[in-house]
Copies of this chain bind each other. A is one copy, B any other.
Amino acid sequence: MSESIPAADTLSRRTFFNGTAAVAGVGGLVLGAGGALAGTAAKAPAALSDVDLMAQRATLSYPFYGGHQAGIETPPQDHLVFTAFDVTALTAVELQLVLAKWSAAMAELTAGAPVGKIQPEREQGIPVDTGEATDMGPQGLTLTLGFGPSLFDERFGLEKFKPLNFADLPAMAGESLNPALMGGDLCIQACANDPQVAYHAVRNLARMARTAVRTKWTVLGFGRASAGAAQSTPRNLMGFKDGTRNASGGVDFDEHVWVGDEAGQPWMVGGSYLVARKIHMLIETWDEDPIGDQQSIFGRDKKQGAPLSGTAEHDVPDFHATVDGTPVIAADSHIALAAHENNNGLKILRRGYNFTDGLDSVGRLDAGLMFLSFQKSPEQFITLQRKLGSSDRLNEYIRHVGSGVFAVPAGIPAAGSYYGKEFFA
C-alpha cells in the first residue's frame, strides 16, 4: 500500500529544494512550487506524492520585518499556539533583554532557522535550540507579539507608554471566566502550517526568557485547513462556516484594524489590538438541536453557509426580508447581531481557531473556539460582545471561559531594532 502513491520520479526532493533556494532568499512571500515546476517544464507534469506536497507547503515563509506585524493580515495558517505570559523579572532591564532576544529569535524562527545563530550549538554545551523543528522548513510560521494592560503598571516604569483607553476588558454577559485563563503581561500568537513548528517556536521563546517570564495560559488551535473541494471558509465545531463576512482587503484594514494616532503612542501606529477569548462550546447539547433551529440561531444555512435570505454563501444577508410578516433572519440570530449593517459599519478581523482539549472533568468533549480578533480599538469588540452576550441565541450553547486583550505594536521595520525599544530609550 505504501508503494502505490504516484511517484514524482522526474522531480526529486533534492532537485526541488535546490531549484527554489534562490527564490527563497527574496523578501516577499515565497512559495517553493514555482521554481521547481518550471525546472521540469520540458517533461510531462509529474503527479506529486503526498510527501512532495508536504515538502512544498513546508517552504512557505512570510517576511518578519515590515510596517505591520505578520499574523494579522496573513492568510490564516492551519495551526495555532497562543500563549500568554506574566513577567516575573523585577527590573526594566530584564524585560528589555527579553524583548530584544525575542525579536531576534522571532526573525530566525519565521525563516525556518533554529534560534541562536549568534551562539552556535556546541556538543558539550546546553542546547540553544531544542531541536524538534530542525529541517522542517518555515511552514508559513508567523509570530505576533502583544502587550497586556498590566505591563504598563508601575513595575517597569512604563505607565507613560500605555495607549489611551487601554484596559482589561470589562465584565460582560455570557462569561464564565476561569482566572487561570485570563490576562497576561505579554502574549505570543504563533501560527504555522505544522503544529510542531508553532509549538517549537513558543517553547523556545519561553525557554530563553525563563528567568524573566512565566507562561500563564496556552491554547492550541486547528481548523483553518479549509482544503476541500467546495470549502473556502473553514467550519467551527458546531459545523457552521465561520468567517464568511470577515474584514479583509486593504480598505478594511486601514479602517478597522490598524491603529493610527488615536492611541497616543507612536509605537502603536501600524499596530492593532488583539482580543483573545477561549469559548467553550456545549457540544453535546448543540448536537441534539434540530438543524432548522441551529440554522435560525446562526441566521445561515448549515450546508452552504448561505444567509437564510439567500442561496449562496456570499449573498449579502437581507435583514429586512420577511415571510408572512416574520423576519427570515431573526433579529436575535448571530449574524443579525454581529452584522456591520446593524452596528454602524463596525467590523473586526476575526482570526480564530477551533480547539479541543479532549474530555473535561465530567467526560464531555472539551472543545470550542479560540476566538482571536484584531481591531483598531478594543471598543469595537466590546460593543459587539455586549450586544451578542446579552441577546445572541447562541449563548445557550457557548461559555466564554478565557479572556485577554493585548496591544500589538507595529512591526519592526528592519533588523537591528526590537519590539518595545521605544520604552527603554
- List chain A positions with a Cβ less than 8 A from chain B: 1-2, 4-6, 13, 17, 28-29, 31, 33-34, 37-38, 40-41, 44-51, 53-58, 60, 62, 73-75, 78, 112, 121-127, 129-137, 139-140, 193-196, 199, 203, 206-207, 214-215, 217-220, 222-223, 225-232, 235-240, 248, 283, 287-292, 294-295, 302-303, 354, 356-359, 363, 365, 367
17 A-B pairs in the complex with CB atoms less than 8 angstroms apart: A1-B62, A2-B73, A6-B33, A31-B48, A31-B49, A37-B46, A37-B47, A50-B193, A53-B56, A57-B57, A127-B239, A130-B237, A132-B235, A132-B236, A136-B227, A194-B225, A199-B237
Residues on B with C-beta less than 8 A from A135 are 228-231
Q: A2-B73, A136-B225 given. 4 additional CB < 8 A pairs?
A: A2-B248, A112-B228, A134-B235, A135-B230
| A2 vs B62: C-alpha distance when bound (angstroms) | 10
User: By the criterion CB–CB under 8 Å, are A199 and B356 in contact?
Assistant: yes
User: By the criterion CB–CB under 8 Å, are B238 and A134 in contact?
Assistant: no
CB distance from A24 to the nearest CB of B (A): 10
A354-B291 contact given A50-B31, A60-B50, CB 8 Å threshold: no
Residues on B with C-beta less than 8 A from A302 are 127, 131
User: By the criterion CB–CB under 8 Å, are A295 and B123 in contact?
Assistant: yes
User: By the criterion CB–CB under 8 Å, are A291 and B220 in contact?
Assistant: no
Residues on B with C-beta less than 8 A from A283 are 130, 203
Instruction: Enumerate the 9 nearest inter-chain pairs by beta-carbon distance, A residue then B residue, closest first.
Output: A131-B239, A34-B47, A58-B227, A54-B227, A218-B358, A135-B228, A37-B45, A135-B231, A17-B229
CB distance from A7 to the nearest CB of B (A): 11
User: By the criterion CB–CB under 8 Å, are A47 and B28 in contact?
Assistant: no
User: By the criterion CB–CB under 8 Å, are B34 and A225 in contact?
Assistant: no
Residues on B with C-beta less than 8 A from A223 are 132, 195-196
User: By the criterion CB–CB under 8 Å, are A239 and B45 in contact?
Assistant: no
User: By the criterion CB–CB under 8 Å, are B225 and A54 in contact?
Assistant: yes
Residues on B with C-beta less than 8 A from A359 are 215, 217-218
Interface class of chain A by DSSP: loop
Q: Which residue of B lies closest to A180 (CB)?
A: B359
| A93 vs B60: C-alpha distance when bound (angstroms) | 52
Q: Which residue of B lies closest to A35 (CB)?
A: B47
User: By the criterion CB–CB under 8 Å, are B225 and A196 in contact?
Assistant: yes
| A199 vs B235: C-alpha distance when bound (angstroms) | 13
| A232 vs B45: C-alpha distance when bound (angstroms) | 24
Residues on B with C-beta less than 8 A from A225 are 54, 136, 194-196
| A112 vs B230: C-alpha distance when bound (angstroms) | 13
User: By the criterion CB–CB under 8 Å, are B49 and A124 in contact?
Assistant: no
User: By the criterion CB–CB under 8 Å, are B228 and A137 in contact?
Assistant: yes
CB distance from A363 to the nearest CB of B (A): 6
Residues on B with C-beta less than 8 A from A303 are 131, 134
CB distance from A186 to the nearest CB of B (A): 15
| A236 vs B367: C-alpha distance when bound (angstroms) | 26
User: By the criterion CB–CB under 8 Å, are A291 and B130 in contact?
Assistant: no
